[in-house]
Amino acid sequence: MEAVNTAVAGDVADKESDGGPETPSLGELLLAVEELWPESLAENWDEVGLVAGRPEAPVGKVMLAVDPTLETIEEAIAWGAQLLVTHHPLLLKGVNSVAATTAKGLAVHRLIETGTALLTVHTNGDSAVGGVSDVLADAFGLDNVVPLAPAAQGLPEEGIGRVGELPELMTLGDFAARVFEILPAVAGGVRVSGERDALIRRVAVCGGAGDSLFDAVRASQADVYVTADLRHHPASEARESAVNGRPYLIDVSHFASEWLWLPAAAEALGNVLSDQGYDVEIRVASTNSDPWDFILTPG
């Protein structure tokens, strides 16, 4: 997957300290991140925020990625990033050891040994305006978009998932083809439940695993629901309880559904930092952390 580079630029001629842009500290960069993706928007089960790093350390290079895998961490280190921002947490559950005898322990060691900070922007990045599901809705061409599950603490337009309308009717098959073309290519491809020639217009989306939102999807009267990691039983029950076949289901790669947000997030963070007079280079990781390598299908 090709890396995306976003260099922070802008007019900082009025900066009085030294006449030019400055390199922010990690603490200053965290304030910019909070402006875009407030921690208050994270779900109560989630673990977001700074995982490793000294707030006073300078940050001139930032890498964004979906997963804090060892391969991704090594890519960030090799590039010289002082901060790695990942969507998924490294330590979502409590631990009593970070010994380097485990993958997660080794990840912690590599981050600290190389002075690479790690920051998690997870469900707060899903819920915020311009977050994961907003980017999906925009990429799929949806209008009149609203949250699928509004945030308990946030603006009316913030929340998990989105639902909106296509400009005109499409067949389920044509829309699934659009989804396939837009998302990064991964081994799992796109799975569809429903009649290929069925007409759809109202679309619900949720980046990442979204089978806990079926009640909200039904309440939204969506014709089709696009999400990832659809398990057998929730998907089967959703199909059996469908009204006139709806909602149809489109199951995509978890990684692919969230990767699409990274270039937009890099641009948004770059703009905020540039407006504040900071000089930071931002790059999207090229590592494909989708766990599957190939797939076999009938025929």
Q: What percent of the chain has pLDDT over 90?
A: 87
pLDDT of residue 57: 98
| Residue type, position 31, single letter | L
Q: Do domains 4-36+49-120+258-284 and 127-252 have the same CATH topology?
A: yes
Q: Per-domain residue ranges for the chain?
A: 4-36+49-120+258-284, 127-252
Q: Which residues pair with 171 in a beta bridge?
A: 199
Lowest mean pLDDT among 18-32, 60-74, 76-90, 188-202: 18-32
pLDDT of residue 18: 56
Closest CA to 121 of 66, 167, 165: 66
Q: How far does Cα 134 stand from its chain's mean position?
A: 10
CA–CA separation, 174 and 196 (whole Å) = 8
Contact 93, 294 (CB under 8 A): no
What architecture does CATH give domain 4-36+49-120+258-284?
A: 3-Layer(aba) Sandwich (3.40)
Q: Rounded to the nearest 5°, which phi and psi values hold at 6?
A: -135, 105
Angle between helices 132-139 and 261-275 (to 10 degrees): 120
15 pLDDT tier (thresholds 50, 70, 90) = very low
Output the six-digit token pair for 195: 């009649």
Query: What is the CATH code of the structural domain delimited by 127-252?
Result: 3.40.1390.30
H/E/C letters for each residue in the chain? CCCEEEECCCCCCCCCCCCCCECCEHHHHHHHHHHHCCHHHCCCCCCCEEEECCCCCECCEEEEECCCCHHHHHHHHHHCCCEEEECCCCCCCCCCCCCCCCHHHHHHHHHHHCCCEEEECCHHHHHCCCCHHHHHHHHCCCEEEEEEEECCCCCCCCEEEEEEEEEEEEEHHHHHHHHHHHCCCCCCCCEEECCCCCEEEEEEEEEEECHHHHHHHHHHCCCEEEEECCCHHHHHHHHHCCECCECEEEEECHHHHHHCHHHHHHHHHHHHHHHCCECCEEEECCCCCCCCCCCCCCC
Burial class (CB in 10 A: 0-12, 13-18, 19+), 133: buried
pLDDT of residue 14: 40
Over residues 122-148, the pLDDT tens digits come to 999 999 999 999 999 999 999 999 999
pLDDT of residue 245: 86
CA–CA separation, 297 and 151 (whole Å) = 39
How many residues are given for the chain? 299
Residue 161, pLDDT > 70, answer: yes
CA–CA separation, 257 and 229 (whole Å) = 10
Whether the model clears a pTM of 0.85, i.e. scores above it, the answer is yes
Contact 74, 110 (CB under 8 A): yes
Q: Which long-range contacts (CB under 8 A, 24 or more apart) does 266-269 make?
A: 266/4, 266/6, 266/64, 267/6, 268/36, 268/130, 269/32, 269/33, 269/36, 269/62, 269/64, 269/85
